[in-house]
Amino acid sequence: MQIKMNLKVFLFLIIFILTRQIKIYALLMLFALIHELGHLFVGLILGFKPETISMILTGFTIKFKTKCEDYNVKIRNGNVLAVKKAIIALAGPMVNLIIILVCLIFYKETQETYLLGLPLELLIYSNILIFAFNILPIYPLDGGRILKELVHIFAGLKNSYTITNKVSNCTVIILTIMGSIFVLIYRNIAIIIILVYLWYITIRENKAFSMKIKAFNIK
């Protein structure tokens, strides 16, 4: 298994230092790592072997190897592999939801506002952000992966590419409009960075989806 680091992470880190939000960024990265460990744990249970763990702008990402026998199963029953991938994609956001629930139960039972020396409100806020970001129906975020696999199950592999691509583009456009309004009101540079990143991954995946759809048309 390889461990990779995207150099753009350092640019993101510098921006958070300049905006005096380094503590928040460190906490987000910590819970992003825990989020990815959820993917890793479920992936291992389902028989997948991790190939690479990469540190990117918004946290971490894990790439799994797909065994030859899984592709053989996919040929016989395409839904099997798609269901597994959807479950793995869902595992990360579920980890953040569990952390939020634990924090809320802890507060309800103890009325304490700190947990492990950290403000309970900040712990909840950080995990809500990670959950909300990753569950967006934009490929290759978890929400986009879940959407793609669900469409694959109910409408076939080719439609999974075309529909996921269209939903991703529409979602980014809507978020850009909403984000622009928030930037004008709150003047938060982090929103601009997130929007730029979302456009970057969307444009990159648009090219990949186009190639895959062309391959289907050739066949």
| Predicted local confidence at residue 165, as pLDDT | 92
CA–CA distance, 47 with 211 (Å, rounded to integer): 29
Predicted local confidence at residue 144, as pLDDT: 95
The series of mean pLDDT values per 10 residues for the chain, 219 residues long, is 49 60 74 87 86 62 60 55 91 95 92 85 90 93 94 88 94 95 83 87 87 68
Q: What is the pLDDT of residue 72?
A: 45
Cβ-count burial of 147 within 10 angstroms (0-12 exposed, 13-18 middle, 19+ buried)? buried
> For 132, which DSSP code?
H
Distances (CA, A) of 59 to 13, 31, 62, 188: 11, 9, 11, 20
Using one digit for the tens of pLDDT, what is the confidence trace for 131-173?
999 999 999 899 999 999 999 988 888 888 899 999 999 999 9
**What is the pLDDT, as a whole number, of residue 111?**
86
pLDDT of residue 26: 75
